[in-house]
Structure formats: structure tokens, C-alpha cells
């Protein structure tokens, strides 16, 4: 027979120590990282809610009322050059449907990374409809670009990106901690109106957090893939595990020129390899048609001109559902496809990463995706505010001994303390911004603990 006289109290004491530790950790993260979480949620919510607003603001550039047969892409590009000059073209996005404009995207050294000067051309009349900066693969316009920069870096450049990485690094920790505290809490039924105010606020805070937990964890993980320090770690892990997204090979090994039946054309066409700028304008249609013949069937296509010794790159950029992001390399001499990457052939993990990023941005499933992301963003803001309200109502009275994370950790027992240290060290290495902020948290807490122990 097993003697349980002491095991039950010991187990209860251990559970209580762990709960006290989790509660103190949850409190610290919420108190110190809460402002960053709130700002990230606010700016992210604004971003996912505004595609329709952006289309209204820039309707004149994006749409045209003219009907008829579109002019060749070469003619559209030449019309854009009247405004954009003879500078290098980064890419061309033909009008995806009647009533929409073509985008001719020029490299501009005055712009930031992933930004292009984009000229909007009516594909039928060749009238110029707009001239503005667009950003990223999604091609967002200045209004949402500002919101994007606000969300990712508070418009402070690379240093500002550490704010969003800090929020993403701790979001999953505070979410899981909250779920564990909720799961281990009392299940005694009581009407909300009968609860004391602090308890009522805790109930609302916990209910919001637990209800949104799965999506919050998703946002944390996908947000980290874009981050600077943690993102580099994730890229290393993906490379080591073979989770790299397939891409096309733009190098030319002569395979596109080796067919004997085309040999008579090679002498006349060989100089195409060295053509750049305006000399290539009349060949965009040919490159696009070649890729479409080989299977690119999305109306959302981007054509990038070949660099010397490289192939054309024709890609789909429709990231809604079903996702169409196939890519093909087209030989600049024979206009045959030399390499391709089809999304249906991607391994599972790169597919999940693609879908995850697009869902994070609110574009994967259109309006339902936007509504869900906005609802979770609002939930996170409310939960953060409720957390601060709870702390204010239960703040220590002046002169009371402070409750510290260090003291809670010391009550875990030897094995528990070692587990926490190992987990903390591993997370600090994998998520460097979390690691640096954790050290700062601990320094503050140790100082309070020392003062309380003096």
C-alpha cells in the first residue's frame, strides 16, 4: 500500500508554486510588454481593415472606364517611360482584367528596399493614370505602405523593427501562460454581476485571451518569420531541415539554345542576351506568352526583365485562395521555359509558411480573413487594457513587500528551477530579442527582490 499522507500536500504545494510562478511571469510580461502588444495590435488591425479604403483613395490610378483591345505591353511600357524616363525597369504587371491599369515599376535609388516607382498606364488608350511609390510583393500603395511601416517599425527604420519583434517574441509566451492559468483556475460557477470588480475584470480578461488564443499563437509565430534576429534563426532552421521555399533558376546554361532545329536563329538572336532597358520593351509580351503557354494561368502576373546572362522571370502573385504563386524562367533568346517552381509541388512546410504569412496579412481568404484578424487584434487590445486595469485595482499598497518573480522561482524546488533555467536559456538563444528583454526583466526583478530581502 502506498502512503499518500505526505504526497498529496506536497503535490498541492508544488502545483501552487508553479501557479504562483506562472502568474508572476504573466504579470511581468503583460506589464512591461503590454504597450508594445497594444501598438502592434492597433497598427495591424488598421492594416488588415484598409485594402478597400486604399482602392477607393487611388481609384483613378487603379481603374479606367475605357474598353477595347489592350495595346501590346511594349507600347504600354513606352508610354510609361515618357513619365518614368529611361531608367531600369524592375517589373511589369499587366492589367489583370478589363477596366484595370498596367503597372510599370521602375527602380529608383531614392526609394527604400522593396519600393519601386510605379507608373499606372491605361492599357487601351496608353494614357498615364498615376505615378506613385508601391511596396512589396503585394504592391501596396502609399496609404497602406505607411500603415505597414507603422506596424513593423513605428516608421523608425531597422531599429524600430525590434519593437514588433519584441511583441511577437512575447505574445506566444503570455498567451500560453494565460491559458495555463485559466485551465488551472477555479471552475466554481458564479454570475458575472455577483463577482467583485477585480474578479469580474479578470474573468473578462481571461475569457478574451483564451477565446483568441489559437489565432494569437498563429500571429506570434508568423510575425517572427519577418523579424530580424529571430527571423534569421528561423531561416537557419528551415535551411537545416530542408524547408526552403523552391525557386526558379535564372542562370543560363545554354539549354535554351541547344536544339538543332533552332540553330539557324541563334546567330541573329544571340545579341538579345546583352539587351537591357528600352531595347527589351517589345519582348515583354513574348516572355509572358511563353510562360502562359507552359501553364501560368493566373491573370495576376509580374514580368521581370533579364539581367545580362540571366533569364526572364515571370511569376504569379495572387496570394488569395486558391494560392497562385507559380514562377517560370524564360530564356531571352529562344523564349523557352528553362526552370519553373509550381506551388502545387512545394513541400508541405513551405506551403504552410506561404499560407500563414498571407493569412497574417489578411489576404488569404479575402474579407473573412480581414474580419478575423481585425477581431483578434481588437481582442488583444481589450485584453491588454483589462490587464492594466486589474493591476491598478490590485496594486500593492505603499510599504508592502513586493511579490517578485525571483521569489516565485525559488519556491519551485531544485528540478523546477533547473527546468525554468534551461527553457529560458533555450528561448533566449532562439529568440534574441526575447533573451535581451528577459535579462532586463530579471535585473529589475532581482533589484526589487534584493531590496525586499534587505
What pLDDT score does 262 carry? 41
Provide φ and ψ at 333, rounded to 5°.
-105, -55
In which region does residue 119 sit, left (phi positive, over 0), alpha (psi from -120 to 50) or beta (all else)? beta
pLDDT in tens, 28-85: 899 999 999 999 999 999 999 999 999 999 999 999 999 899 999 999 999 999 988 7
- Average pLDDT for the chain: 88
H helical segments located in 50-158: 51-57, 59-62, 73-84, 142-153
Over 70: is that where the pLDDT of 263 sits?
Answer: no
Handedness of CA 34, 35, 36, 38 (dihedral sign): positive
What pLDDT score does 278 carry? 76
Q: Which residues contact 41 (CB under 8 A, 6 or more apart)?
A: 377, 378, 380, 381, 384
Please report, for residues 50, 53, 115, the alpha-carbon distance to residue 57 in angstroms, rounded to integers and kept in the order given. 10, 6, 19
Q: Which of 246, 234, 232, 262 is nearest to 333 (CA)?
A: 262
- Within 13 Å of residue 446, how many CA atoms lie on the same side as its CB? 6
Do 233 and 433 form a contact (C-beta atoms < 8 A)? no
Q: Band of the pLDDT at 322, cuts 50, 70, 90?
A: very high
Alpha carbons 347 and 155: distance in angstroms, whole number? 35
Q: Band of the pLDDT at 184, cuts 50, 70, 90?
A: confident
Over 50: is that where the pLDDT of 6 sits?
Answer: no
pLDDT in tens, 376-417: 999 999 999 999 998 888 776 665 666 788 888 989 989 999
Over 70: is that where the pLDDT of 450 sits?
Answer: yes
What pLDDT score does 189 carry? 62
What pLDDT score does 8 carry? 46
Alpha carbons 104 and 101: distance in angstroms, whole number? 10
Q: Band of the pLDDT at 257, cuts 50, 70, 90?
A: very low
Q: Which of 407, 306, 360 is nearest to 171 (CA)?
A: 360
Question: For a pLDDT cut of 90, what percent of the chain falls above it?
Answer: 68
For the chain, report the end-to-end CA distance as a whole number of angstroms. Answer: 47
Over 80: is that where the pLDDT of 453 sits?
Answer: no
Over 50: is that where the pLDDT of 229 sits?
Answer: yes
Handedness of CA 73, 78, 80, 85 (dihedral sign): positive
**Extended strands (E) in 113-165:** 115-121, 128-135
Q: How many CB atoms lie within 10 A of CB 324?
A: 19
**49 burial type by CB count under 10 A (0-12 exposed, 13-18 middle, 19+ buried):** middle
- Cα 442 to its chain centre, rounded Å, is 30
Alpha carbons 47 and 138: distance in angstroms, whole number? 13
Q: Is the peptide bond before 171 cis (omega within 30 degrees of 0)?
A: no
What pLDDT score does 194 carry? 66
Residues β-bridged to residue 106: 89, 117
What pLDDT score does 185 carry? 72
Provide the whole-model pTM: 0.87
DSSP secondary structure string, 334-386? T--EEEEE-GGGS-HHHHHHHHHHHHHTT-SSSHHHHHHHHHHHHHHHHHHHH
Alpha carbons 244 and 238: distance in angstroms, whole number? 6
Alpha carbons 46 and 444: distance in angstroms, whole number? 34
Collapse the DSSP code of 438 into the 3-class scheme (helix H, G, I; strand E, B; otherwise coil) and give the result. helix
C-alpha cell at 217: 499563437
DSSP secondary structure string, 291-326? HHHTT---S-EEEEPPPTTB-EEEEE-B-SSS-B--
pLDDT in tens, 271-309: 555 566 778 899 999 999 999 999 999 999 999 999 888
Q: Band of the pLDDT at 242, cuts 50, 70, 90?
A: confident
Residue in the block written with cell 480573413: 369
Q: Which of 140, 145, 144 is nearest to 62 (CA)?
A: 140
Do 11 and 402 form a contact (C-beta atoms < 8 A)? no
Show the domains of the chain with their CATH numbers. 19-49+155-241+367-453 (no CATH), 62-140 (3.10.450), 255-345 (no CATH)
Q: Band of the pLDDT at 121, cuts 50, 70, 90?
A: very high
Do 359 and 365 form a contact (C-beta atoms < 8 A)? yes
The mean pLDDT of 133-150, rounded to a whole number, is: 95
What pLDDT score does 132 carry? 96
The mean pLDDT of 308-335, rounded to a whole number, is: 94
Residues β-bridged to residue 328: 314, 340
What pLDDT score does 397 carry? 65
The mean pLDDT of 194-221, rounded to a whole number, is: 89
Cα radius of gyration rounded to whole Å, the chain:
28
Alpha carbons 332 and 272: distance in angstroms, whole number? 6
Amino acid at each position: 500500500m502506498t502512503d499518500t499522507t505526505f504526497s498529496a500536500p506536497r503535490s498541492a504545494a508544488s502545483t501552487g508554486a508553479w501557479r504562483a510562478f506562472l502568474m508572476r511571469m504573466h504579470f511581468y510580461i503583460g506589464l512591461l510588454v503590454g504597450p508594445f502588444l497594444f501598438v502592434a495590435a492597433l497598427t495591424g488591425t488598421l492594416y488588415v481593415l484598409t485594402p478597400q479604403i486604399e482602392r477607393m483613395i487611388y481609384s483613378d490610378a487603379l481603374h479606367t472606364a475605357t474598353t477595347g483591345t489592350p495595346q501590346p505591353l511594349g507600347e504600354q511600357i513606352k508610354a510609361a517611360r515618357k513619365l518614368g524616363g529611361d531608367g531600369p525597369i524592375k517589373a511589369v504587371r499587366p492589367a489583370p482584367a478589363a477596366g484595370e491599369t498596367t503597372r510599370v515599376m521602375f527602380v529608383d535609388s531614392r526609394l527604400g528596399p522593396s519600393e519601386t516607382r510605379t507608373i499606372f498606364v491605361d492599357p487601351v488608350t496608353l494614357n498615364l493614370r498615376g505615378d506613385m511609390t508601391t511596396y512589396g510583393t503585394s504592391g501596396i500603395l502609399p496609404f497602406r505602405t505607411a500603415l505597414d511601416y507603422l506596424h513593423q517599425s513605428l516608421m523608425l527604420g531597422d531599429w524600430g523593427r525590434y519593437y514588433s519583434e519584441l511583441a511577437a517574441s512575447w505574445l506566444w509566451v503570455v498567451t500560453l501562460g494565460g491559458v495555463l492559468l485559466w485551465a488551472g483556475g477555479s471552475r466554481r460557477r458564479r454570475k458575472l454581476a455577483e463577482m467583485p470588480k477585480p474578479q469580474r475584470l479578470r474573468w473578462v480578461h481571461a475569457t478574451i485571451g483564451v477565446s483568441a488564443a489559437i489565432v494569437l499563437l498563429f500571429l506570434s509565430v508568423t510575425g517572427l518569420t519577418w523579424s530580424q534576429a529571430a527571423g534569421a534563426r528561423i531561416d537557419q532552421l528551415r535551411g537545416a531541415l530542408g524547408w526552403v521555399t523552391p525557386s526558379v533558376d535564372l542562370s543560363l546554361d545554354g539549354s535554351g539554345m541547344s536544339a538543332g532545329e533552332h540553330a539557324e536563329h541563334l546567330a541573329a538572336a544571340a545579341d538579345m542576351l546583352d539587351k537591357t532597358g528600352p531595347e527589351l520593351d517589345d519582348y515583354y509580351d513574348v516572355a509572358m506568352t511563353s510562360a502562359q503557354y507552359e501553364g501560368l494561368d493566373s491573370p495576376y502576373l509580374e514580368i521581370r526583365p533579364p539581367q545580362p546572362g540571366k533569364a526572364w522571370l515571370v511569376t504569379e502573385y495572387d496570394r488569395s485562395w486558391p494560392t497562385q504563386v507559380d514562377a517560370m524562367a524564360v530564356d531571352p533568346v529562344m523564349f523557352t521555359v528553362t526552370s519553373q517552381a509550381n506551388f502545387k509541388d512545394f513541400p508541405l512546410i513551405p506551403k504552410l509558411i506561404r499560407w500563414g504569412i498571407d493569412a497574417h496579412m489578411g489576404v488569404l481568404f479575402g474579407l473573412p480573413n480581414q474580419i478575423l484578424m481585425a477581431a483578434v487584434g481588437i481582442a488583444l487590445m481589450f485584453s491588454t487594457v483589462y490587464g492594466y486595469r486589474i493591476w491598478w485595482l490590485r496594486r500593492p499598497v505603499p510599504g508592502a513587500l513586493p511579490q517578485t518573480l525571483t521569489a516565485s522561482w525559488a519556491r519551485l524546488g531544485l528540478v523546477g528551477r533547473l527546468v525554468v533555467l534551461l527553457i529560458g536559456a533555450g528561448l533566449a538563444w532562439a529568440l534574441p530579442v526575447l533573451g535581451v528583454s528577459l535579462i532586463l526583466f530579471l535585473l529589475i526583478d532581482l533589484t526589487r527582490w534584493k531590496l525586499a530581502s534587505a
